[in-house]
Amino acid sequence: MKLRIGTRKSKLALWQAEKVAEELKSHEVETELVEIESFGDKEQDIPIHKLGDKGVFTKALDEALLSEEIDLAVHSLKDVPTVLPDGLELAAVLERGNPADVLVRPVSGKDSLHKVIATGSIRRTAFWKNRFPGDQVVGLRGNVPTRLQKVDSNNWHGAIFAYAGLERIGYEDRISNVLDWMIPAPSQGAVGIMSRKNSDHRELLAKINHTNTRLCVDIERAFLNELDAGCSSPLGAYANIKNDMLYFIGAVLSPDGAQRLDIEREIPVDAANPGKGNEWAKVLKKEGAAGLLTHRSHDE
């Protein structure tokens, strides 16, 4: 019997699903891909945050899992809400790719008269405006190839993409600058595998779960959850492990980037658990993070 892997239809989503299939094949498990169109894929002309923040790209796959049309669902983990539907669980996370945000310049190399940056992300907009308050930020939607085409056909300075997404589908050569000052979205670069709770495949999926990545993304997702923020919020969180130490950076900004709260922590890995994400978010809540997340930008 083949395991049915649910996936969105984009080139990147299919790469991720095929990567999971490859990992399962190494454990002698046969699979088949089931392509499902998400609400977020159907509505390409509306900004993500206006579609309703939580589950825009995951709900159709969740429903297919719950109705047993598929056995697993594969997602970019940053798209997965921190509160999961009843009956489902995050069964495994693959080893994380490069979590960085990057700038992609038009192939022409020409600049607009005014510095115009394109992104559909409230987080990326806030970080960019925090660093470059005089720049104009315009919206950008679509799958990776579509967005790259828009970059090349508009008179923009550039657009912001995820490093991992470009690298995975062969567009790494389009990266102009790595924005190492921009804190990634929680779980950016990680591939998550959802299943039904108490699934017969739990032990199998545990074999392809990357322990260090799972710890880091669980902390980041707990940080996001404690702040009651969605994947489109002006918030960054990144945990990584080096030499038995876990390093965490997080920030909450106002959508216009004018205000910002940061936190950094360093703890031994054996003292790290998802609850640390909640704890560190509470520190920023005491400093007024909730007010920043509900603050309205002058540009809206």
Query: Residue 300 falls within a domain, yes or no?
Result: no
32: exposed, middle or buried (Cβ count in 10 Å: 0-12, 13-18, 19+): exposed
**pLDDT at position 141, please?**
85
Among the listed residues 200, 216, 224, 193, the one whose alpha carbon sits nearest the alpha carbon of residue 83: 224
User: Which residue in 196, 189, 154 sits closest to 78, CA to CA?
Assistant: 189
Considering the domain architecture, whether residues 157 and 198 belong to the same structural domain is answered as no
Q: How far is CA 252 from CA 65, 79, 112, 152, 235, in A?
A: 33, 18, 30, 31, 5
What CATH number did the domain enclosing 281 receive?
3.30.160.40
**Do residues 124 and 2 share a domain?**
no
Q: Check residue 100 and give its pLDDT.
A: 98
What pLDDT shows up at residue 231?
63
Residue 23 is assigned to a structural domain of this protein? yes
Name residues whose C-beta falls within 8 Å of residue 281's C-beta, 6 or more positions apart in sequence.
222, 223, 224, 225, 226, 227, 250, 289
Domain-embedded: residue 184: no
- One DSSP character per residue, 60-71 reads HHHHHHHTTS-S
Number of domains in the chain: 3
Residues 6 and 58 in one domain: yes
- Return the H-helix or E-strand segment holding 300: none
Residue 185 lies in a domain: no
Residues 91 and 198 in one domain: yes
Helix (H) or strand (E) holding 10: none
Q: Which residue has the tokens 């699903």?
A: 17
Q: CA 192, CA 294: separation in Å to the nearest integer?
A: 28
Tell me the pLDDT tens digit for each residue of 69-100.
999 999 999 999 999 999 999 999 999 999 99
- 183 assigned to some structural domain: no
Residue 217, domain extent: 211-294
The pTM score is: 0.90
- Give catalytic residues, as residue numbers: 79
pLDDT score of 222: 97
pLDDT per position in the chain (300 positions), as tens?
799 999 999 999 999 999 999 999 999 999 999 999 865 454 445 444 444 455 667 899 999 999 999 999 999 999 999 999 999 999 999 999 999 999 999 998 666 556 899 999 999 999 999 999 999 999 998 889 999 999 999 989 999 999 999 999 999 999 999 999 999 999 999 999 999 998 899 999 999 999 999 999 999 999 999 998 766 789 999 999 999 999 999 999 999 999 999 999 999 999 999 999 999 999 999 999 988 987 543 333
Do 3 and 107 lie in one domain? The reply is no
pLDDT at 112: 57
Classify residue 275: in a domain, yes or no: yes
User: Do residues 220 and 278 make contact, with C-beta atoms less than 8 angstroms apart?
Assistant: no
168 and 235 in a single domain? The answer is no
Handedness of CA 96, 207, 77, 270 (dihedral sign): negative
| Integer Cα distance of 102 and 178 in angstroms | 4
Looking up tokens 């998802």 gives: 274
Does some domain include residue 197?
yes
> Same structural domain for residues 276 and 237?
yes
At residue 34, the pLDDT reads 96
Residue 116 sits in the same domain as residue 130: yes
Return the CATH number at 118: 3.40.190.10
Q: Does one domain contain both 46 and 109?
A: no
Same domain, 166 and 197: no
Is 54 found in the same domain as 198? Answer: yes
The answer to whether residue 299 sits within a structural domain is no
Same domain, 162 and 282: no
Q: Indicate the residue among 178, 200, 219 that finishes a domain.
A: 178
